[in-house]
């Protein structure tokens, strides 16, 4: 027996196809223009950071490394390579944390203070797009900062070793993890600044940075707690607060040990999820904010 056939009127089919084509074209165009707007805001945020002389910290970093390369050999009992990696990567993290916190908390606040935010939102720019653009702009600034510093550390190692040093390839995965940590911290600073004053946002972000590095202790505390509610509280803090200890690979890098590719991937994925969550929450808060 032949299968039953369903006859569809031709004009219906034509109308449906045209509608879906028009819809998908509009969606693609809207996605493209949204991307363009975010890119424009990010580019401007980067330019603003450069104009604000944020990258001047690189001069201090270069001076620090040059001095360390020349003098640290005498002070460290022949451990200058280890000290240069420790010092270089620690300075990279510290300078990056300061930039992420102090520039990050001012990203939104400055626009509100100068009232330029009205000009931005008078154009077809969404609040979420504005936040993501600002975030990416600062991430770009931090990327330039971290890359220049990593090249500086590699050059310092070349100088003290009088040639190729096996520590050079092992520092780059640690540098990548530092950059991911800074991206995470920037998102947190932006989140706090979306509803709070710069001083309070900086303080709160710094506290998250400290607690994030104490995550192992939070887990230990949860395990040693007698009461169930306290254990639940510390367990919740351990799982909900960003685990920044995942990105601390400076000391192993100084001993020539690089994190495995799977670990870096997992840490990167964790950061991505966390950043998406934080930016979504920031957008949620920021979109309800009244600028009057």
Partner 1 sequence: MNERMKSLTLGLVVVAGLACAALMVRWTNSLRPPPDPNAIDESLYLNGKTARRISLGFNGLVADWYWMRSLQYVGKKILSQPEDVAIDDLSKLNLKLLAPLLDTATTLDPEFLDPYEYAAIVLPAVDVQEAIRITQKGIAANPNAWRLYQHLGYIYWQQGNYQAASETYGRGAQVPGVPVWMLAMKAKMIADGGSRDTAREIYTRMFEESADEQVKDMARKHVLLLDSLDQRDVLRKMMHAFRDKSGHCPTSWTEMPTAFRVFAIPVDSSGAPVDPSGVPYLLQPGTCEVQLNPKSEVPVK
Please state, in angstroms and rounded to a whole number, the distance separating the CA atoms of residues 58 and 92. Answer: 9
Residue from the set 245, 269, 280, 284 that interacts with partner 1 by CB under 8 A: 245
Binding-residue pattern over the window 17 to 56 for partner 1, x denoting contact by CB under 8 A? ----------------------------------------
Residues 184-243 close enough to bind partner 1 by CB under 8 A: 209-210, 213-214, 217
Rounded to a whole number of angstroms, the minimum distance from the CB of residue 138 to partner 1 is 21
Is 77 among the residues that bind partner 1 (CB under 8 A)? yes
Please state, in angstroms and rounded to a whole number, the distance separating the CA atoms of residues 251 and 254. Answer: 5
Comparing CB distances to partner 1, the nearer of 44 and 76 is 76
Residue from the set 144, 251, 281, 285 that interacts with partner 1 by CB under 8 A: 251
Binding-residue pattern over the window 79 to 108 for partner 1, x denoting contact by CB under 8 A? x--xx-xxx--x--xx--------------
Comparing CB distances to partner 1, the nearer of 58 and 64 is 64
What are the tokens at 164?
């190729």
Residue from the set 75, 147, 151, 272 that interacts with partner 1 by CB under 8 A: 75
Is 149 among the residues that bind partner 1 (CB under 8 A)? no
- Name the residue with tokens 């932006």: 190
Please state, in angstroms and rounded to a whole number, the distance separating the CA atoms of residues 174 and 187. Answer: 20
Comparing CB distances to partner 1, the nearer of 234 and 247 is 247
Instruction: Select from 49-57, 144-152, 197-205, 246-254 the region that touches partner 1 (CB under 8 A).
Output: 246-254
Is 248 among the residues that bind partner 1 (CB under 8 A)? yes
Rounded to a whole number of angstroms, the minimum distance from the CB of residue 77 to partner 1 is 5
Please state, in angstroms and rounded to a whole number, the distance separating the CA atoms of residues 64 and 175. Answer: 18
| Whole-Å CA distances, 117 to 107, 246, 291 | 11, 36, 9
Report how many residues bind partner 1 under the rule CB under 8 A: 27
Rounded to a whole number of angstroms, the minimum distance from the CB of residue 167 to partner 1 is 12
Given the rule CB under 8 A, which residues bind partner 1?
75-79, 82-83, 85-87, 90, 93-94, 209-210, 213-214, 217, 244-245, 247-248, 250-252, 254-255
């Amino acid at each position: 027996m032949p299968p039953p056939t369903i006859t569809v009127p031709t004009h219906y089919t034509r109308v449906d196809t045209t509608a879906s084509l028009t819809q998908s074209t509009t969606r693609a165009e809207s996605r493209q223009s949204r991307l363009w707007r975010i890119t424009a805001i990010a580019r401007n945020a980067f330019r603003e950071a450069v104009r604000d002389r944020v990258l001047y910290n690189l001069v201090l970093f270069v001076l620090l490394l040059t001095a360390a390369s020349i003098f640290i050999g005498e002070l460290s009992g022949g451990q200058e390579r280890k000290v240069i990696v420790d010092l270089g990567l620690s300075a990279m993290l510290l300078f990056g944390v300061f930039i992420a916190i102090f520039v990050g908390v001012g990203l939104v606040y400055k626009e509100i203070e100068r009232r330029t935010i009205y000009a931005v939102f008078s154009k077809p720019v969404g609040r979420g797009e504005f936040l993501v653009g600002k975030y990416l702009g600062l991430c770009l600034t931090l990327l330039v900062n971290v890359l220049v510093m990593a090249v500086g550390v590699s050059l310092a190692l070349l100088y003290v070793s009088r040639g190729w040093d096996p520590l050079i390839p092992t520092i780059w995965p640690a540098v990548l993890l530092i950059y991911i940590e800074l991206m995470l911290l920037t998102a947190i600073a932006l989140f706090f600044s979306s509803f709070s004053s710069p001083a309070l946002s900086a303080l709160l972000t710094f506290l998250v940075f400290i607690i994030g590095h104490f995550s192992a202790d939070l887990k230990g505390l949860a395990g040693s707690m007698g009461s169930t509610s306290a254990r639940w509280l510390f367990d919740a803090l351990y799982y909900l607060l960003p685990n920044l200890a995942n990105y601390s690979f400076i000391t192993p890098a100084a001993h020539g040990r690089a994190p495995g590719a799977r670990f870096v991937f997992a840490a990167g994925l964790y950061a991505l999820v966390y950043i998406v969550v934080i930016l979504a929450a920031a957008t949620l808060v920021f979109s309800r904010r009244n600028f009057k």
